[in-house]
Amino acid sequence: MKQSRNSIKSQTYSLVKRCLACGRVLEKNKLRYCSPDCKEQFQFKLKWFNNLLRAISTKYASFLFTEDYLILNVLPYNNQTVHTYFHRRTPGRKPAQDMNQMIFDLGELWWNQMKTHRSRNMAMQTILDSGQTNIFSRDRVIPLEKVQFSHISKQMFLLEVDKTELVQQDYAEEVIKTAFRKAARKHHPDLGGDADRFRRAYQAYEDLLHWLNHPHIKTRRGIPGQWCYLGRNNAWIKPL
């Protein structure tokens, strides 16, 4: 079934925070999934794609779902084209339940070609040709890197320091000092500012200087809003 870019946009979920595994609207105390069981079931079914993705020499893939469709994007090695596969969802069912049929359909296509031609290359090409192209760009399938600084987000906000400035070790300390001097002029009680705000700014200043000597940086890879498959590891990573 042919799909246009506009139709995909019209099917995407709203900005309401939803479970990454089923799309259910999350309660306020839930972070990314509605329940551990929902997460486990979804990730288990997602791994069922792995054998097929390896068979068609996938470098990167991404998986997402809308209210109406499951969508798999595949970027093979030695190929600049993203191949997109759609599977219509069944009303009232979770994505993990509909994934069974999507995996079966693609797998059956593979094995039918293998039985007929006994050629992995022909079977691989048949799978790729069955997908649509020019729906998603390569940038939507290749994972990004996101740098996370642990335990200093509040301090950075208070002093209006950007994380990119802290990465530059050569002048990061001066950036922190300059930011504190600016905050001090604004909040120091002797200059008409608020004493509590000044104390918090000074504490943030000390915390950032301490962090600079003992930095704790995490780097995450992934795709915003989509599950990402890494062919090199034969593994999926969750959305950014």
- pLDDT values of the chain reduced to their tens digit, one per residue, 240 residues: 556 554 554 444 556 789 999 999 998 777 899 999 999 999 999 999 999 999 999 999 999 999 999 999 999 998 899 999 999 999 999 999 999 999 999 999 999 999 998 899 999 999 999 999 999 999 989 999 887 777 788 898 899 988 777 776 678 899 999 999 999 999 999 888 899 999 999 999 999 998 888 887 778 899 999 999 999 999 999 998
pLDDT at 217: 76
pLDDT at 11: 47
For residue 132, what are its two tokens? 């649509």
pLDDT at 65: 96
pLDDT at 10: 43
SS3 93: coil
SS3 10: helix
- The side-by-side arrangement of strands in the sheet containing 69-76 is 83-88, 69-76, 58-65, 227-230, 235-237
Q: What single-letter amino acid sits at 90? A: T
For residue 136, what are its two tokens? 């998603």
DSSP secondary-structure letter at 105? H
pLDDT at 171: 81
Contact 213, 201 (CB under 8 A): no
Torsion, Cα 224 45 31 211, to 10 degrees, reads -60
Q: How many alpha carbons fall within 13 Å on the CB side of residue 17?
A: 9
Q: pLDDT tens, 97-156?
A: 999 999 999 999 999 999 998 899 999 999 999 999 999 999 989 999 887 777 788 898
Q: What CA–CA distance (Å, rounded) separates 74 from 71?
A: 10
pLDDT at 36: 93
Q: What single-letter amino acid sits at 110? A: W
Q: What CA–CA distance (Å, rounded) separates 15 from 227?
A: 17
pLDDT at 2: 57
SS3 140: helix
| Cα–Cα nearest to 21, from 47, 48, 50, 41 | 41
Q: What CA–CA distance (Å, rounded) separates 216 from 114?
A: 50
pLDDT at 133: 96
Count other C-beta atoms under 10 Å from residue 185's C-beta: 10
Q: What CA–CA distance (Å, rounded) separates 206 from 122?
A: 63
Query: In angstroms, how far apart are the furthest CA atoms of the chain?
Result: 86
Q: What CA–CA distance (Å, rounded) separates 173 from 183?
A: 15
For residue 212, what are its two tokens? 């600079």
pLDDT at 147: 75
Question: Where do the H-state alpha helices sit in the chain?
Answer: 5-11, 36-46, 50-55, 95-117, 120-130, 153-159, 163-167, 172-187, 195-213
